[in-house]
Amino acid sequence: MDVTEQTFASAVIERSKQIPVVVDFWAAWCAPCRQLGPVLERAVAERAGEVELVKVDTDANQNLAAQYRIQGIPAVKAFKNGEVVAEFTGALPAPAVERFLDGVAPSKADRLVAKGDETSLRRALELQPGRADAALPLARLLLARGDQDGAAELLANVTGSFAADGLSARISLERQADPRLQEAFMALDRGDAERGVDLLIDALPQANGDRDEIRKVVVGVLDELGADSELARSARRRLASALY
SS (H, E, C) 65-116: HHHCCCCCCCEEEEEECCEEEEEEECCCCHHHHHHHHHCCCCCHHHHHHHHC
CA nearest to 193, candidates 168, 218, 175: 218
Backbone φ and ψ of 145, nearest 5°:
-105, 15
Active-site residue, selected from the candidate residues 30, 105, 143, 171: 30
Distance CA 238, CA 244 (A): 10
Q: How many residues would you count in the chain?
A: 244
HSE-CB of 220 using CA atoms within 13 angstroms: 26
Please identify which of the residues 21, 22, 23, 33 carries the catalytic annotation.
Answer: 33
Integer Cα distance of 234 and 192 in angstroms: 16
Backbone angles phi, psi at 79, to 5 degrees: -110, 135
Q: Verify whether residue 101 is a known catalytic residue.
A: no
Question: Catalytic residue at 111?
Answer: no
Active-site positions? 30, 33
